[in-house]
Amino acid sequence: MSDPTATPTGRTALLDVAKVQKTYTGQGRTVEAVRDLTFSVGNGELVCIVGPSGAGKTTLLKVIAGLLEPTSGTVTLDGTQVTGPPPSMAVVFQEYGRSLFPWMTVEQNVELPLKQKKMAKERRAELVRDALEAVGLAEAHSAYPWQLSGGMQQRVAIARAVAYQPQVLLMDEPFAAVDAQTRADLEDLIRSLWHKLGVTILFVTHDIDESVYLGERVLVLSSSPTVIMEDLTIDLPDERNQLDTRSSPRFAELRHHVYEQIQLAKHRRGGEPAPAGATGASAATTPA
Amino acid sequence: MQTVLRWGRSLFVALALPVVLVTLWWVLSAGSTNYYSPPLQTILTTFGEVWFGPRLVDDVLPSVTRLVIGYAGAVVLGVGLGILLGANRTLRRLTEPVLEFFRAIPPPALIPILFLFAGIGDTAKIIVIVFGAIWPVLLNTVEGVRAVDEVLSDTSRSYGVSGWARMRHLVLPSASPQIIAGMRQALSISIILMVISELFGSFNGLGFAIIQFQRSFAIPEMWSGILLLGILGFVMSLLFALFERRSLRWYHGLRRSQRGEK
């Protein structure tokens, strides 16, 4: 850990979030959504961010995606400061029903961002085909999103992100609105895509099990105004599956630990000092 | 067989009332000696004589041309201005009172003034149509553009869909259900204004022909002109329905799936 740019799993940092703070001001009152967030995501890493509801997770993700300007602090991607949506980043939103263009077919939805990249037609077709195949939707290319089930729609959104060939894939509670079985399938899809593509994934969720099952690292957020309570390395084997991994003792331990942290987080806001015994907490303790 | 039956049924439902009404008109007017309401048979005979002759080019064509140009102008200007105002809050607030004022003026009231400035030719008549028909298009476009979904907008931004591509792939399609609803209203307004603008100071056109027939007591001819206007309006709305069904297929499908239908 002598290299200051390395992440806890020992990878070189690709995405750097430094002292990010976001305060919303409007109509006579200000709300500090995110107080002070500092962390790095290594190249090729799969990091989950978990926090209690209302922890400013979506705010954080939008800041990282360049969709929202932080009040202070910086986000740096591959050495360049993020000031708008970077071309090497793709986002998958929670509301699949509102993130796919209902007037376009599945294929057109996946292709549109590639057109913006001024890519040749043949190359576009190839990427679209490969991406749809990778998410198991090769047959559905000419359907409209609203003709598909929720899980399939989210697969289309994932395919669109994959075809975009991003360095970093941001996912904002992507499976919160699908049923449990579909969710398990989609989690495995994410793990396998991550292995296959070597892409860096930052996955925001409120589901503790999901964060432990998916991540190499789990960042636990406090309640709003948000700080990072813990940066936990998930030392589960790389090959994971829903049955064995979830029933392993280590999974239970990690899950238990994160659950405890979240319970603490619910009662603790960013300004308060960390309780004794909190492991590896990097919470800022600047007085309010 | 099932589909044939269903088709037959819906055709019957669609045609039943018109057939009854025409038959009633035919029967009730058959022996009419009233000068002002001649038998339908006479009107129909006159219809062929009047409209399938030189009047097709001299009156129908100029009317339809003005209608098409005026309507198209209203749609293009309405959508263009609507996008501008919908996307720009300051501009919208600045122009709102003025637009409300102009919208409140009944377009036919403008005819005398317009004729002073633009003469009694096609230009003035087209301006009248544009001025009356632009409002539903403009206001609906403003609303449609403002209502672009936030998540879709974020999605577009994060994938670099900006500028003209954003307009073409996001804003316009997303506003299209509202825009098309406005266009439907504008179409009927256009037809009304086409006729009204021809009632005063005109050399040709359907409205001109009808008023001329009335003044020269050519009553069956006058009736046949009104009939033709009805048919014209009907055909226009039929064409519009086809256009709407094609361009909003996604929207109706989406709505059906949201209601849980297949």
Cβ contact A115–B165 (<8 Å): yes
Beta strands in B50-193 (DSSP E): none
Cβ contact B160–A98 (<8 Å): no
Count, residues in chain A: 288
Q: Which of A197, A200, A190 is nearest to A78 (CA)?
A: A200
What are the DSSP calls for A211-241, one per residue? HHHH-SEEEEE-BSSEEEEEEEE--S-SS--
From the list B152, B162, B173, the residue facing A98 with the nearest CB is: B152
Cβ contact A85–B176 (<8 Å): no
For chain B, what are the domain ranges? 37-258
**Per-block average pLDDT, block size 10, for chain B (262 residues)?**
85 90 91 87 90 88 95 97 92 90 86 82 90 94 93 94 92 95 95 90 89 91 93 94 94 89 60
Q: How far apart are the CA of A180 and the nearest CA of chain B, in angstroms?
A: 21
pLDDT in tens, A88-135: 999 999 888 889 999 999 999 999 999 988 899 999 999 999 999 999
pLDDT in tens, B58-108: 889 999 999 999 999 999 999 999 999 998 899 999 998 998 898 888 888
CATH superfamily, with its number, for domain A1-88+168-244+254-288? P-loop containing nucleotide triphosphate hydrolases (3.40.50.300)
Q: Between residues 132 and 171 of chain B, which touch chain A (CB distance below 8 Å)?
A: 149-152, 154-155, 157-162, 165, 169-170
Taking the Cβ of residue A96 and every Cβ of chain B, the question of whether any pair is shorter than 8 Å is answered with no
Predicted pLDDT of residue A286: 36
CA distance A49 to B34: 86
Taking the Cβ of residue B250 and every Cβ of chain A, the question of whether any pair is shorter than 8 Å is answered with yes
Q: How far apart are the CA of A252 and the nearest CA of chain B, in angstroms?
A: 36
For chain A, what are the domain ranges? 1-88+168-244+254-288, 97-165
Predicted pLDDT of residue A270: 57
Q: The domain B37-258: what is its CATH number? A: 1.10.3720.10
